[in-house]
Amino acid sequence: MSSQVREGKVGIPRALFFYTFYPAFRTFFEELGATVVVSGTTTKATLDAGVQETVTDACAPIKLYHGHVAELRGRVDYLFVPRLVSTNGKLIYCPKFLGLPDMIRHSMAGLPKLIDVRIDVRKGKHEWWRVYREIGRNFTKSTWKIYRAYRKALETYRQFDGMLKSGATAPAAMYTLYGEEILPAQPGLQAAAALEQASASASEPAVASGTGRGADRRLTIGVMGYPYAFYDPYLSANLLDKLEALGVTAVTPDMIPDEVLERQADKFPKELFWTYSDRAVKAAYHFLENGRGRIDGLIHLTAFACGPDFIVNKLIELECKKQKVLPFMSLMYDEQTGEAGVLTRLEAFVDMVRRRKEAAVRAGAPLAETPVVQSQTTARTTAQAASSAKKAG
């Protein structure tokens, strides 16, 4: 039997599941002799290209995914577009993830071969191995080679996830693993954070219990939402960097271990269907329950035209109003979100959170029990919504 490896270039778009699974799949492809090509950091041109290629009522992250695919088209032999159904054996991904390979295939021309493996861990405990074996067959007939690459991929995944659970953002952890190849733009702060956090004790993750870091005027804010939005500098209008510049440490759902999030499960009559949405809501509930004195506020970054987010945002907002523990702000983004609008709102929110905290410290009293709950969209988003409504009318 020939075990020769077929080499080739595999394109992975820098969007959607990229911030969760890229390191594992990169290791796997490279172990099989393939070269992994990642699309560049998102720019206006990437998103504009995606808008051209997709249906108008798709959410911004899906449009962006199309833009990243367009960038890779013509440069690679394979495009890795898996159909993510379930990766935790319980919940499924949003329907847009389930239909992703079909959407790409039917709306874009001139594509290379798609590796569109279906991933549904509900099918049994050997599903991940089946998935990797199916992908690996594109490159080699040797089951042993595929198995070895699969084991290495799992190792990388554990290493990457360990960094996240120690408080690193996904881009920072990737910078630690791959350097400027992945994050060419201003990686200094993030890399420092990754290194600092990766060396911290894994047995007591700082954010798992909502431990605020830093002293004096530094704040810690829980950022809820989807990794493909809050880690994407263009889509989020550089939210995390802006928070850092304002003296805020951002804590994301990625940083909280699954078992800690699961302690919130009994607060819901039933679980949300969608994996990332479920994590966002449970992370918010976790911070509300455990964050007093350690987390200073919550921000939910929510996507315009996202069905699941209508529910997620409402659940978080209602719980914040009920518990009256942490100030909350929701920020809605779409493909036209402007940086200036986001910065103005962030500055106002952070300023309010900081004044509230400092007033409590000065008075030697507990924090005020009446947080301001704001629900805002960016100015340009509001304008776009109005224009869409006008067109629809």
Residue 268 makes CB contacts below 8 A (sequence gap 6+) with: 281
Tell me if 367 contacts ligand SF4 by CB under 6 A: no
332: nearest Cα among 341, 322, 320, 323: 341
Question: Segment contacting ligand SF4 (CB under 6 A): 57-65, 106-114, 124-132, 141-149?
Answer: 57-65
Maximum Cα–Cα distance across the chain = 77
Which of positions 205-234 make contact with ligand SF4 (CB under 6 A)? 226
Closer to ligand SF4 by CB, 13 or 308: give it: 308
Residue 266 makes CB contacts below 8 A (sequence gap 6+) with: none
Tell me if 353 contacts ligand SF4 by CB under 6 A: no
Closer to ligand SF4 by CB, 100 or 261: give it: 100
* Encoded tokens for 131: 């998935």
What are the φ and ψ backbone dihedral angles of 31, each rounded to 5 degrees? -65, -25
Question: Segment contacting ligand SF4 (CB under 6 A): 40-48, 230-238, 306-314, 368-376?
Answer: 306-314
What are the φ and ψ backbone dihedral angles of 224, each rounded to 5 degrees? -90, 160
Tell me if 61 contacts ligand SF4 by CB under 6 A: yes
**Binding residues for ligand SF4, how many (CB under 6 A)?**
11
The residue from 38, 193, 281, 306 that contacts ligand SF4 (CB under 6 A) is 306
Classified as helix, coil or strand, 302 is strand
Least spacing, CB of residue 155 vs ligand SF4, in Å: 29
279: nearest Cα among 224, 360, 223: 224
Question: Segment contacting ligand SF4 (CB under 6 A): 161-169, 281-289, 301-309, 362-370?
Answer: 301-309
Question: Segment contacting ligand SF4 (CB under 6 A): 257-265, 283-291, 300-308, 338-346?
Answer: 300-308
Distance CA 60, CA 280 (A): 18
The residue from 33, 112, 162, 307 that contacts ligand SF4 (CB under 6 A) is 307
Tell me if 309 contacts ligand SF4 by CB under 6 A: yes
Asked if residue 60 lies in contact with residue 47, where contact means CB atoms within 8 angstroms, the answer is yes
Residues that bind ligand SF4 (CB under 6 A): 59, 61-62, 94, 96, 226, 303, 306-309
